[in-house]
Chain A
Amino acid sequence: MYLTKEEEAILNGEKGEVYEKVFRLLVRLGDIYGADRMIPVGSVQVAGVSYKSIGDPGRDFLEDFAEKGAKVKVLTFLNPAGMDMENWRELGFPADFAKNQIRIMNAFKKMGIVVTATCTPYLAGNLPRFGEHIAWSESSAVSFSNSVIGARTNREGGPSALAAALCGVTPNYGLHLDENRKPNIVINVDADLRSNSDFGALGYYIGKLVKNKIPYFKGIKNANTDNLKALGAAMAASGAVALYHVENLTPEAGFMETKGLESIDVTDKEIRETYEKLNTGEDVDIVILGCPHASLREIAEVAEKLKGKKLVKPLWICTSKAMKETATLMGYRDIIEKAGGKIVSDTCMVVSPIERMGFKTTGVNSGKAANYLPGFCKQNVVFNSIDELIKGVTDER
């Protein structure tokens, strides 16, 4: 791998122990994946934030780096944490868990990382441009930035993203290169996709089938960014899809050749069967929306449906702090809270310890959440559209 004189100097320890280590990590990962050189990144999103995922070893590692003076070079955001950083007490998060989560966030802040913890950085103030090289971690954010924005990132692990943030570069391999962004399977969609849960079901079904391939969708006539967010998140969770193209909708689709590729047909039947497969429970203990983190449009939609109603079960909408602020400003939060729901920021149902909070069956509209909740949080799942989920937990007297 070609290294500049400056980069060689970092490797020889001239910038100190921390930078030598993290740069060595980038060089070695570059070697393993056949990178020719380092390329500058415009922004970073670091995963491995929740205390539930990284535990004491991760916490100690991050505190040690922060203590030694590590500082990020580029705009860096975080993946969701294990709890709402403001209202964790009120929401019932365990105090021992909170203590450790706060230590982790303080270590990140000390390194100059923006402690906005979200899987939708592109909605919260970290928006890359088309073609920009970035180093992001969270699988749905990686999928959205690659596919919908046309930025370029591999799916980084926590430490490799942190290394990219500290050094401002990433090894040039994988999805940073034109030749690796071409589709290798066509998905012909002939189905009526109305809600985010329909797009989530489609994503879940396709992700299982194509694993880590790059699908090219035909037949999706219209989809807004919320629909695409749901589609990409589910494909990244049930498979390992980090990039997809949608004919006439996503920015690189028009440059791609699909002649001669293997193809899969999807109809309403497969979507319906996926709904059936994802439903493993009946009576929900809680409804959790916002996987990936809800956009303002999604929060407004929930507020509209909850206006003047009372919830008989808890309902959370997970989102970024930025969206929560705007939802508060617009009165959406007030409507949701009057109905008995909560807007929860900085975390989500997948990375928070909901299994320790007395919930056994969770209602979701996300194919990604439906994929992870049984394993990560020991939950039964009710998978449906927001409309149906809300009907099931409101008392319309």
Chain B
Amino acid sequence: MKGRMISPGKVEGEAIVSSEPIGFYGGIDAKTGIVIEKGHELEGKCVKDKILVFPYGKGSTVGSYVIYGLKMNGVAPKAIINKETETIVATGVILAGIPCVDKIDIENIKTGDKLRVDADNGIVEKL
């Protein structure tokens, strides 16, 4: 699948997919990487070392700092894949140095899929 590079880097890993948007501020605990938003489809799941796939970000702009906090605390996802990266997530992944690609048909990716992400070229492959 070919998309657009938001933040560079090349990684391989296991997908964790949310069909709902994610709000990082108040949505994911920056210390543990666990999704804490009540009623969210990923509630209780940990994003650490996963390839986190969701349509786009939502909520407070402070979410950018939470993405950065995840990285600093060693619990960040290996990469982020979006349908459309908006400014909160774009700001967070660039500051944190997390590879990120958008304009991908995320409906084709399922939790547990093994992925190779070449963000430099905007390419996502299933392994």
Contact = CB atoms under 8 A, between A and B. Distances in A.
A58 B30 CA distance: 11
A48 B61 CA distance: 9
Determine which residue in A28, A31, A32, A158 has the highest number of CB atoms from chain B within 10 A of its CB, and name it.
A28
A64 B65 contact: no
B80 interface: no
B18 interface: no
A56 B69 CA distance: 8
Contact of B7 (A24, A55, A64): A24
Contacts, number: 65
A17 B95 CA distance: 10
A160 B65 contact: no
A299 to B, nearest CB: 31
Contacts of A159: 64-65, 91, 95
B-side interface mostly: helix
B85 A24 contact: no
B125 interface: no
Interface residues of B, number: 21
Interface string A164-182: 0000000000000000000
A189 to B, nearest CB: 32
Contacts of B30: 56-57
A60 interface: yes
A157 B94 contact: no
Contacts of A25: 90-91, 94-95
B104 interface: no
A29 B97 CA distance: 15
B9 to A, nearest CB: 12
A60 B95 CA distance: 12
Interface string B1-12: 000101100000
A179 B66 CA distance: 35
A28 B90 contact: yes
A24 B87 contact: no
Interface string A147-165: 0000000000111100000
Contact of A32 (B62, B64, B72, B87): B87
Given A54-B62, A158-B61, A24 B94 contact: yes
A61 interface: yes
A21 B87 contact: no
A21 B94 contact: yes
B86 interface: yes
A47 to B, nearest CB: 8
Interface residues of A, number: 22
Nearest to A33: B87
A54 B68 CA distance: 12
Interface string A13-44: 00000000110110011011000000000000
Nearest to A31: B4
A55 B90 contact: no
A60 B91 contact: no
A134 to B, nearest CB: 18
A32 B7 CA distance: 13
A21 B95 contact: yes
A28 B94 contact: yes
A288 to B, nearest CB: 23
A188 interface: no
Contacts of A56: 30, 69
B99 to A, nearest CB: 12
Nearest to A27: B94
Contacts of B95: 21-22, 25, 61, 159
A220 B69 CA distance: 48
Nearest to A160: B91
A53 interface: yes
Nearest to B90: A28
Contact of A157 (B6, B64, B66): B64
A61 B91 CA distance: 12
Interface string A56-79: 111011001000000000000000
A21 B87 CA distance: 15
Interface in B77-95: 85-88, 90-91, 94-95
Interface of B: 4, 6-7, 30, 61-62, 64-66, 68-69, 72, 85-88, 90-91, 94-95, 97
Given A48-B65, A159-B95, 20 more contacts: A21-B95, A21-B97, A28-B7, A28-B94, A32-B90, A48-B61, A48-B62, A54-B65, A57-B65, A57-B66, A57-B68, A57-B72, A60-B68, A60-B72, A61-B68, A157-B61, A157-B64, A157-B88, A158-B65, A160-B87
Interface of A: 21-22, 24-25, 28-29, 31-32, 48, 53-58, 60-61, 64, 157-160
12 contacts: A25-B91, A29-B90, A29-B91, A32-B85, A32-B86, A57-B62, A57-B65, A57-B66, A60-B69, A61-B65, A157-B87, A158-B61
